[in-house]
Amino acid sequence: MAKFVSEKIKMKSDARLAAVQATYMIEYGQLPVDQVIKDFLNGEVGRFVIAEDEFENEKLVEVGDMDTNYFATLTRGVHEKKEYMEQAISHYLKEGWVFDRLDGTLRALLLCAAYELINTTDVDTKVIIKEYVDLAYAFFTKSEPKMVNALLDTIAKNVR
């Protein structure tokens, strides 16, 4: 039973990673949402990530099976409520920060995270924040993960 639960958790984590990637692709490739979702579900994109070994050598690693329903719901939901999500995130950014000027990957990550915090009630707040902070560490090495943590914590306190 524990293996099944941890497998489901991993599948949801992989769905979040794919949703961040898909959100980025939709925005910067100006691609249709349904086409991007279909491409991910068919395995045409998003099947591999770059990972480093202990010697800092990069290699492609295949992503495990994801929760396809969660991925599609999250990706579609972010796109449908994108304008509202951007305004919500902008509201909580520190003075001097502008959402449109953030790195594209960071924007996609924040959109997915904010969508989940605002629209998902069956996942604990701490789990959502931890998942997206972990993703931030996968994409960034500077202060972005700390900013993601602080921003999502602030959003969560105000919307949950």
**For the chain, how long is the longest CA-to-CA vector?**
48
The residues, ordered by sequence, that sit 6+ positions from 35 with a Cβ below 8 Å of its Cβ are none
Domain, as residue range, for 81? 2-159
> Tens of pLDDT along the chain (160 residues)?
555 668 888 899 999 999 999 999 999 999 999 999 998 888 777 666 566 666 667 665 666 688 999 999 999 999 999 999 999 999 999 888 899 999 999 999 999 999 999 999 899 999 999 999 999 998 898 899 999 999 999 999 999 8
Locus of tokens 């509202």: 84
Locus of tokens 């943590």: 149
SS3 content of the chain, % helix, strand, coil (to 5): 70, 5, 25
CATH number at residue 113: 1.10.940.10
**Residue 62's pLDDT is what?**
63
**Number of domains into which the chain is organized:** 1
In 3D, which of 86, 158, 90, 77 has the Cα closest to residue 119? 77
**Residue 146's pLDDT is what?**
95
**Residue 126's pLDDT is what?**
96
**Residue 123's pLDDT is what?**
92
